[in-house]
Structure 1
Amino acid sequence: MGRQWLHAKRAIVNLRKGQAVGKVVKEITVAAKLGGGDVAANARLFAAVEKARKQSVTRDVIERAIKKGAGGGDDKLTLEHIVFEGYAPHKVPVIVEVYTDNHQRTAPEMRVLFKKGTLGAAGSNKFLFDHVGLVEAHHADAAIDLEAAAIEAGANDFEPLTSEQNDDIPEGRTGARFITDRSAVHAVSVWLGQNGWTVITSELGYLAKNFPDLDDAQRGEVGEFLQSLEDHDDVQRVWAAVK
């Protein structure tokens, strides 16, 4: 039994790794579609490409994904962007961003995933979130002034981030999430990159305005629910009102 479980565990790890690579390749394609195929001029694309390289995605795969998103080559992008709104267990508001090539397949699958929560109609809970620009980055200087960096970069606010909160932040480095106007994401990313920061995420996202009080058991249930959403191949981002 032990050996069988070991094989099963390895299969799960390999599956999750494959899903992660698939999602980052799709992120490259989507970023190229939204902001163009020039990596230097598209902060979201630059961050996605860097993440793909860290996951050992080959250059050919990256270039094909960029061409697909930017409309070059024979394989053009046919992904549709859909936003699902609803609630996780214990009435925790959730927004799920999906990119799919088959809406008729994805929508029923999302309804199944939301059985342990509540799937709402479009616009049912977006008012519970702020739609903002988000740039996550890390710096080698442990004593760097985050507030000063946010002001100079042109961000509206910032939150410290640790390697426990984001696996892409190496231990010993100073991490932060910079919150910006939606129109300022690229400018903030460029400033950070020019001033010693390594940008790992540059995108538009949703930040909850309020957070329901949860005990440890409830937080665990919500976490399992959110993970089930994250594991779906078409889900690109999950935003939830949980700390």
Structure 2
Amino acid sequence: MSEQICRFCHKYVQLAYYCEDCSSNCCSDCLHEEYIDYNKCQDCNSRKIDNLDSDKKKVCNDCGSENIVKGSQLIKTCPKCNSHNIVNIYEKKEDLEKLFLDLIKNTRLFVVPLRDILSELLLLQQKLEKARAPPLRYYHYPKMESDLLALFKLFQYVQNTIYEKISVHFHQLNQNQEYFFDTYSQPNSNITIIESLFENFVRSYDSIKDFITNNVNTFVRSVESILANLKFI
């Protein structure tokens, strides 16, 4: 990673740390550190400690033990806002790149429920044709054919809509891929831009996922209803 100017010491150095709260970058020399006191349960190592107001004793919120000891820990601190929410900038960029790649992989899986639904509809069609064909010729529930046809039409609409949504989604990913591939070459000042872009991608992904989930549930209920009728006859 190339050297950049540190806003705190005004030197050209590698900015190794990033504050998640105020988005500041700093070098190793400018990073603040301080000792923070804490209470810990000696029995289960939990730091979820409550105070007993009655006798000023402390108790572990996880296991109920009163075997509590004090400790201290050296914590990285932001030189601008004093936040302890400091991360290594190299790991931050690596995580963003991995999240982006995982989003692409998961988006490709959207076609799986479509294939499953189509297989169920085709199987249901075969069962219905068999029930209507000789020598059985069951004529119960005469609307099953029209209901099944409506499901096929709905499937076609859902499939076209999903493909359109996925196409737009991938277009957005492709337009901004330079921010996520080789994130190490990106200046640290772009981290907030990259995070904002990724949040938009996630919203787009969730929108497609919700659309698929809602329609899959509709298909499942409708298919189960027709199967129940076939089982009855």
Interval containing the TM-score (normalised by the shorter chain): under 0.3
- Higher normalized helix content (fraction of residues): 2
Q: What's the TM-score once normalised by structure 2's chain length? A: 0.21
Instruction: Indicate the structure (1 or 2) with the bigger Cα radius of gyration.
Output: 2
- Higher normalized strand content (fraction of residues): 1
Q: What's the TM-score once normalised by structure 1's chain length? A: 0.20
